[in-house]
Structure 1
Amino acid sequence: MAQADDTSGGRYVVRHVAVFDVPATVSAPWTDCRHVIAVTRTRLHHNHWVERRSLYISDLTLPAHPWLTHIQARWGIENRLHWICDATFREDDPPRKGGHAPANWALIHCWIISVARRLGYRTVPLGMQALANQLHRVFRILMHGFSSA
């Protein structure tokens, strides 16, 4: 078992990680899975403790402590990309369903996020607002990259 205390971002979070061997009774599709990693996050939110448990599976054989870093890095990806796609573009409830539309729109959304970040906008919506009436600039970036932005 490993533990880490985190006070970044103005909050207090305690993470506990435990690694367990997968039981031999695991079904055929999971034969390569060797370990279950249990992460318990406890944070102080508005003077109340909130606990969240997540389970991960892996074929890697690592002790608990390295998983603290690996899993937190994964959460960083979630916060920097997936949450933005969900909150800004409502990707959890897409209006375009079926066929290749969801994948195509996800690609466009990621490109918009990259453009907004590369041009230094504080948030993606601010970047979208600033570029909304500048199609010539958007097309220039699309065709020639950022050297002509």
Structure 2
Amino acid sequence: MKKLILGLSILSVFMFASCKEDASKKIDEANVVAAAERDANASKFPVLTFDETEHDFGEIENGKSVETTFSYKNTGNAPLVITDIKSSCGCTVPEGWSKAPLAPGESGSFSVKFNGSGTNKITKTVTVTANTEKGSEVVKITAFVKS
């Protein structure tokens, strides 16, 4: 019985050893080149640079609508895609931005309307969600609303 188990063990070792192929023969050089290029591009991000990150409307009357435009530029090494722009409340509405990719060096803009609600010093934030390294950028509007 021991000889039978020993014989089967030796036979299975030879079978497993003979089934091994040289792993280097299975590597496709085109896949290696594609992976190296992908890894090199993975560290390239667009950079969203604003002309101004905060706009002050100054003193405004309660209920008076005001609007400003935020201009930006892609100063990075990859196309910039803005997927969403949201404000901190319903009284501030961002409009006019493009979801089309913005090539490095190109510029764009969006407008922000504030309906003038509230009293005293008001600060509202607008969050721009994009494919930057951070994933989002924030711009602010401020005003002093007179009652």
Q: TM-score range by the shorter chain?
A: under 0.3
Looking at CA atoms only, which structure, 1 or 2, has the larger radius of gyration?
2
Q: Which structure features the higher share of strand residues?
A: 2
TM-score (norm 2): 0.27
TM-score by length of 1: 0.26
Q: Which has the higher contact order (CA 8 A, sep 6+)?
A: 2
Whichever structure has more helix as a proportion of its residues is 1
